Structure 1
Amino acid sequence: MATSYLDHNLALLAHLRGILVALGEAEQVSDESHTLFMERFDDLLKSLPHIPEDRHLGQDMICQVFHRYPQVAHLVPRDLLWFFGGDCLHFMPDEEIALYQELDERRFEAEVNGEFFDWSQEKQLLALPEESSKH
């Protein structure tokens, strides 16, 4: 089942939250600063659906994940880096940025035409090797 672009990214944020909570439970991070970080993370999760302009806060939070929790940086969903943009793009190679630019173009085109767009499916199609058929 496809979800909206915002819902897709909120689900990824919730997944990332679970990873960060597990880090705290495993006592792999400083408890006090981790607790404060998680409170800010939860505030972002609550505000983002109602105030999409809070994306800049998400950008800061995702960048902090890379700096504060390098042991899980490889687990940060790549879609979140693109969704928040800005400084988050520094963690993406140029080829990956090009893929996400094409995805966004397809999403906007579908939106303009009032067509259904499944972010995950389109992402898989774009990731196919060049000799595979794409639509």
Structure 2
Amino acid sequence: MANLHLEYHLQLLQHLRTILVALGEAEQVPEESHALFLERFDELLTLLPQDPLESQYLGQDLLCQVIQRYPQIAHLVPRDLLWFFAGDCLHFMPDDELDLYQALEERRHEAEQNDEPFDWHQEKQLLSLRDPSGEH
């Protein structure tokens, strides 16, 4: 199950990379520094499946940079990635959202320990419906 969880986040990172490439192609960012940033982003995509724990800091750094360097796309950064990399990324999430993700993570770990299937999206929707503060 942990591999599915990692694979899901790799897909989100690929999606975010697509957005970043489009941003560069639209010439909305300085080309040279953007190319270097994409190289580091690609490094994360390579390293994450090989060593998820060692990649945490690079992931945190890059996601924080996406939000700070590219504020025009900050709203497109998947919230699941902020939670996944944690650390400084959590500063970009409000308390009610942190509570939702904490509950979701606890459910995921419980399901893993009991060898039960776990659907991240379905559980996230269920928790959001139960918690009226999760509505925006």
TM over 0.5: yes
Matching residue's letter, 1:99: L
Q: Which residue of 2 aligns with 1:70?
A: 71
Mapped partners of 2:120, 2:131: distance in 1: 19
Query: What is the correspondence of 1:26-65 to structure 2 with a 5 Å cutoff?
Result: 26-53=26-53, 54-65=55-66
- Count, aligned residues: 129
Q: Which amino acid aligns with 1:120?
A: H
CA shift digits 1:3-46 (9 cap, x unpaired): 71111111100000000000000000000000000000001001
Return the offset for 1:95.
0.1
Percent identity over paired residues = 67
1:112 aligns to what? 113
Q: Does the alignment pair 1:9 with 2:38?
A: no
Aligned to 1:18: 18
Q: What TM-score does the superposition give when structure 1 sets the normalisation length?
A: 0.92
1:124 alignment counterpart = 125
Residues in 1 aligned to 2:27 and 2:131: alpha-carbon distance in whole angstroms:
45
Q: Which runs of 5+ in 2 are unaligned?
A: none
Give the superposition deviation at 1:129: 4.4
Equivalents in 2 of 1:130, 1:90: separation in Å?
A: 21
Distance 2:62 2:131 in 1: 35
CA RMSD in angstroms, aligned pairs only: 1.2
- 1:72-130 deviation per Cα after TM superposition (whole angstroms, max 9, x unaligned): 00000000000000000000000000000000000000000000001111111111145
The residue type equivalent to 2:31 in the other structure is D
TM-score by length of 2: 0.92
- Alpha-carbon deviation of 1:56? 1.1
3-state SS, counterpart of residue 28 of structure 2: coil
Q: Which amino acid aligns with 2:100?
A: L
The corresponding residue for 2:94 is 93
Distance in 1 (alpha carbons) for counterparts of 2:131 and 2:33: 46
